[in-house]
Structure 1
């Protein structure tokens, strides 16, 4: 299989290099991907960058050139729900945009871009296999909606507005819905795992640096263990 692993930041990518060795660097569009071979699978490790445009552009650059079979997305998110805490793992089952407001333009719901689904649902067999792996390893996780937008959510005011529009959302981040939209149009399975780094409130700025590395390492360890067990 050809598997893409996409993370937003270098501090998250560095943990994968502890498990993968002797990779070659390849340029796709404006993005460098590191190419490794693990258990007979071709692994393409790349940075999405921060935000929706960077994420969509860099994933599209890869998918336009390589027939990727599976996209694995990891990274951090801020909690929106009272029962979602720092360091918790989320296996996302749907993405939408918290900064897309098009209800006045037609028969659309909050978060929906005209011409696109109301939510980008992640329901592939590949995602089910990853969920089964987490369960077999007795790794606790939650499933649900995560919302995406081009802003770091770092105040109670921002968080309150998002929760009003998306009361079932578990977390908020800056790339996932863009990944899901690209994967949807390329008809590629996306497995998205987010680790909670902060509470998305007034404490988020101080929380983020402290927790991003820790939860990034946790996600990388799980992904690498999954790849080792893949048939």
Structure 2
């Protein structure tokens, strides 16, 4: 299989280098990916960048040049539920944009880009196989809707506004829905993992800075174990 493995920041990518060797740097448009062979799989490890445009641009550059079989994205998110705690792993089942407000433009719902799906559903055979791996390994995880926007959420007021439109959402971050939208148009399965790094409140910035490496290590260990299986 050809697998795209994409993380937001270099701090999160560095954990894979301990396990992936003999890398080859490839440029697709303006986007750099590192190419590895792991257990007869071809891995393309790259950075999404931060925010919706960077995420969509960098994934599109890869998919336009390589016939990828599976996309795996990892990273961190802020919690939108009291029962979703720091260090929890979210296996996202759908994405929406919390900063897309187009209900006045037609028959659209909150979070929907005109002429795009209201939610980007990630259900696939590949995702189901990954869930089976988690269950067989006895690893704890949660599932749910995660919402995306270009702002780092760091106040209760911002959380309250998002939850008013998306009461079912379990997390908030800055890239996922863009990945899901690109994957939808390229007809590629996407497995999305988010490690909860903060509560999306006034302590979010401090919590995020402290936790980003720990979240990256946790996600990397999980993905590497899966690839070795």
Any idea what the Cα deviations from partners look like across 1:145-164, whole Å, max 9, x if unmatched?
00000000011111110011
- TM-score, normalised via structure 2 length: 0.99
Q: Which residue of 2 aligns with 1:175?
A: 175
* Match runs of 1:53-132 below 5 Å: 53-132=53-132
Unaligned runs of 5+ in 2: none
Give the distance between the partners of 1:99 and 1:113, measured in 2 at CA: 10
Q: Counterpart of 2:96 in 1: which secondary structure?
A: strand
Structural RMSD (CA): 0.5
1:31 to partner: Cα distance: 1.1
Give the distance between the partners of 1:205 and 1:193, measured in 2 at CA: 20
Give the distance between the partners of 2:30 and 2:223, measured in 1 at CA: 25
1:94 to partner: Cα distance: 0.2
Q: Does 1:154 align with 2:184?
A: no
Q: Which residue of 2 aligns with 1:23?
A: 23
Q: Which residue of 2 aligns with 1:13?
A: 13
- TM-score, normalised via structure 1 length: 0.99
Q: Counterpart of 2:44 in 1: which secondary structure?
A: strand
1:130 to partner: Cα distance: 0.5
Any idea what the Cα deviations from partners look like across 1:148-198, whole Å, max 9, x if unmatched?
000000111111100111000000000000000000000000000000000
Give the distance between the partners of 1:198 and 1:22, measured in 2 at CA: 35
1:22 to partner: Cα distance: 1.0
Any idea what the Cα deviations from partners look like across 1:89-131, whole Å, max 9, x if unmatched?
0000000000000001111000000000000000110000001
Give the distance between the partners of 1:29 and 1:111, measured in 2 at CA: 29
1:203 to partner: Cα distance: 0.6
Give the distance between the partners of 2:207 and 2:18, measured in 1 at CA: 25
Give the distance between the partners of 1:129 and 1:144, measured in 2 at CA: 17
Give the distance between the partners of 1:59 and 1:197, measured in 2 at CA: 24
The number of equivalent residue pairs is 229
Unaligned runs of 5+ in 1: none
